[in-house]
Amino acid sequence: MRYANSRTGVSVSLDELSDVEKQFYQRAREQFKANAPWLVFDELAFGVSSPIYSGRASHLDVLEQPLYLALKDMSLELGVRQGLIAAKQPRETDRKANAGRKEKRSRQAAY
| Region label for 90, one of left (φ > 0), alpha (ψ between -120 and 50) or beta (otherwise) | beta
- Residue 73: pLDDT band (50, 70, 90) is very high
Q: What's this model's pTM, rounded to 2 decimal places? A: 0.75
pLDDT of 10 over the 60 cut? yes
* pLDDT number for residue 102: 53
* pLDDT number for residue 97: 55
The per-residue pLDDT for range 87-108, each reduced to its tens digit, is 876 556 555 655 655 555 544 4
Cβ(46)–Cβ(100) below 8 Å: no
Higher pLDDT, 7 or 26: 26
DSSP codes, 26-94: HHHHHHHHTT--HHHHHHHHHSTT-GGGTT-SSHHHHHHSHHHHHHHHHHHHHHHHTTSSPPP---HHH
Q: Determine the distance from the C-alpha atom of residue 50 to the mean position of all C-alpha atoms in its chain, rounded to a whole number.
A: 16
